[in-house]
Amino acid sequence: MDNILNARRLLSRRGFIGSVAAGGSALLAPSAFGAGGIGAAAALAGGPGSLATGLGAGGSARPLVFAHRGASALRPEHTLAAYAKAIADGADYVEPDLVCTRDGVLVARHDAYLNETTDVARRAEFASRRTRKTIDGQTHEGWFVDDFTLAEIKTLRAVERIPESRPGSAQFDGMFQVVTFEEIIDFVAAQSAAAGRVIGLVPELKSSAYFAGVGLALEDRFFSTLAAHDYTRRHPVEIQSFEVANLKYVRDKLGRRANIRLMQLVGAPAQRPADVAAANGTLTYGQMCSPAGLKAIAAYADVVAPPTRMLIALKQDGFLAEPTSLAADGRAAGLRVETWTFRPENRFLAADFRDSAGEHARNPAGSVAEIRRYLKLGLDGFFTDDPALGRKAVDG
C-alpha cells in the first residue's frame, strides 16, 4: 500500500514537478537509447519497476488544459509563438500535430495540406508543385507537405487559418517558420526550465495510413525522436490519433510506461477512422463510443477524446441539449475522458453563451462559461484554442 501511495504522490502534478526539481530521474530508469525504429521503441518501452500509465503521469485531480495547436486563437497555429503564448498563459500541455516531409522529417502542421496555414500559394518557385490529393477521405487541390523537403518547408512562413475571426493573429502572418517536432521538444524543455514547471506534450499522429502509403510512415520516426530527447523520455507525453491501428502499434512498441498515455480521438458518430475506411472496414466512431466499443478502446488506449458536441449536443436552435452518457460510459470503461475543442469566438460557441458583439467577435466570458458547463461532466482534460481562458475556467 505504501508503494501505491508513493506512486500516486509522485505522479500527481505537484509530486511530478517535485521529482523533476529533485533531479528528475525518478520516473524512469536510465536506458541506452537506440538510433531509431524498433530499437528506439524498445528503448522507450517501460521496463521492470516502471509505474503504470493508468496512475496518470503528470496529471492531477484538476482537468488538464491542452493548448490546441498552441494558443491558436491568438497566434498562427503550430508556431513557436503559439506555443510560447500557450505556456505563458498556463497550458498544462501543448499540441503539435505531426506530418512528414518528403525527406522523412516530422513537422508540425494540422494536416498535409499547406494552403491554409502557410504562404505556399504565393511562392512562385513552388507553382509547379500544385496538385490534387485525397487524404483521409477529403480531396484538396494545392500543395502538400510530403512533396517538399524540410529545407523547402523552412522557406515557407506560417499564416493564420481563419483571419476573418482572428485578425489579431493574422497580424503575425509571415513572421514564423514551420517547426520540426525536435525543435518543439527543445523549445518546450527550455520553457519548462524557465518557468519552473513541467509542460507536457500532446502530439497527434496525423493521417498515419496515408503517410504509410506513400512510404513515409510516421510511427518509427516518432519513436526515434522521443528516444533522442531526455525531456520526452521523462516528462508527460500523451499521444493521440483519430486512427486505430497506429495507436495499437504504438502501444505494442512502447508498452505502458509512467510518462506516456495514449488518446483515442473520435469524430462524428457516422464517420469511420481513416485506416478503417482504407481497409474497407465498417467500424464507426459511434460504435467505438458504445459501452462495448469503449471497453475495446481501453485495451490499447488510456483516454477517449470525443468532440464536445458528442458529450453535450446542440439542439436545432443552437442551445445545449442534455448531456449524453458518453462521459460516464468512458469512465466506466476505465478511460480518462478528454474533449476537443473550445474556441473563444461567438461563431463557435453554443447559443447559451454567445453575446451580441457579432459572429466573429471574441467572447472570452462566453468561452469560460461554456468550458465550465462541460467540466461539470467530470472531464479529465480538454483542448482549447485559448489556454488562458481554459486556465481561468479550471482555476476560477
Question: Which pLDDT belongs to residue 280?
Answer: 96
Q: Domain for residue 378, yes or no?
A: yes
Report pLDDT digits (tens) over 253-278. 999 999 999 999 999 999 999 999 99
**CA atoms of 44 and 225, how far apart (whole Å):** 10
Instruction: Identify which has the larger pLDDT, 192 or 30.
Output: 192
Instruction: Specify if 41 maps to a domain.
Output: no
Q: Are 119 and 125 in contact (CB under 8 A)?
A: no
- For residue 270, tell me if it sits in a domain: yes
Q: What's residue 143's pLDDT?
A: 98
Exposure string of 158-173, with b = 16+ CB inside 10 Å and e = fewer, is bbbbbeebbeebbebe
CA dist 110 to 94, 95, 98, 256, 391, Å?
13, 10, 7, 27, 23
Give the separation between CA 160 and CA 141, rounded to whole angstroms. Answer: 19
Residue 387, in any domain of the structure? yes
Q: Which pLDDT score, from 0 to 100, does residue 60 have?
A: 52
The count of domains in the chain is: 1
Q: Output the pLDDT for position 61.
A: 79
Instruction: Give percent of the chain with pLDDT exceeding 90.
Output: 84
Confirm whether 56 is domain-assigned.
no
Residue 155 lies in a domain: no
Q: Residue 9: is its pLDDT beyond 90?
A: no
175-222, pLDDT tens digit by residue?
Answer: 999 999 999 999 999 999 999 999 999 999 999 999 999 999 999 999
CATH number at residue 358: 3.20.20.190
Report the mean per-residue pLDDT for the chain: 89
Task: Please report the pLDDT score of residue 6 as a whole number.
Answer: 43
Containing structural domain, residue 300: 63-110+178-395
Mean pLDDT of the region 162-184: 98
Of the listed ranges 1-5, 72-76, 255-259, the least confidently predicted one is 1-5
pLDDT above 80 for 377: yes
Q: Please indicate, yes or no, if residue 116 is contained in any of the structural domains.
A: no
Confidence at 3, pLDDT banded by 50, 70, 90: very low
- With a CB cutoff of 8 Å and minimum separation 6, the contacts of 103 are 149, 150
Please check the confidence at residue 12 and state whether its pLDDT lies above 50.
no
168 within domain boundaries:
no
Model confidence band, residue 311 (pLDDT cutoffs 50, 70, 90): very high
How far CA 86 is from CA of 79, 165, 183, 271, 311, in Å, comes to: 11, 19, 16, 31, 25
Residue 396 pLDDT class (50, 70, 90 cuts): confident
Which of 202, 167, 165, 169 is CA-nearest to residue 343? 165
Cell of 298: 481501453
- Position 177, amino acid: Q
Residue 38 pLDDT grade (very low, low, confident, very high; cuts 50, 70, 90):
very low
The whole-number average pLDDT for the span 66-95 is 98
Residue with cell 458583439: 357
CB 133 within 8 A of CB 112: yes
Q: Residue 291: pLDDT above 50?
A: yes
State how far the alpha carbon of 42 is from the alpha carbons of 38, 220, 247, 361, in Å.
6, 11, 16, 49
Segment 68-75 mean pLDDT: 98
pLDDT at 17 over 50: no
319: phi then psi, degrees, rounded to nearest 5: -85, 160
